[in-house]
Amino acid sequence: MKYYSETLDKLFDSEAELKKAENAALEEKKRKQALKDERAKRAKEVDEAIEHASNLLNKFIEDYGTFHSSIGNDNSFFATLLSLFD
């Protein structure tokens, strides 16, 4: 007798195999959803950090008129941020 999984759209030789495969598929689905959620959370954190840096840069320019990254300071956060928009 064969057992059909509607979830997987697949036939199995035993009910135990079917349950094992469905459980594995469910765990994989949960793992992928967790990764997707984590990616969205981290992307939001990056967006917020960029927004914060942009606000700081705008405030600096508002207060001092300009922002200049010196040649010796190429590793600064603002130099890196500004290079993204070049």
Predicted local confidence at residue 70, as pLDDT = 61
DSSP state of 67: -
14, 22 Cβ separation under 8 angstroms? no
- Residue 51 CA to residue 36 CA, distance in Å, equals 22
At 73, list the tokens.
């300071």
Report the amino acid identity of residue 2. K
Predicted local confidence at residue 59, as pLDDT = 92
Predicted local confidence at residue 67, as pLDDT = 77
For the entire predicted model, the pTM comes to 0.61
pLDDT tens, the chain, 86 aa long = 999 999 999 999 999 999 999 999 999 999 999 999 999 999 999 999 999 999 998 998 899 888 776 645 556 666 666 676 65
CA-nearest of 12, 3, 5 to 26 is: 5
Place of tokens 């914060």: 52
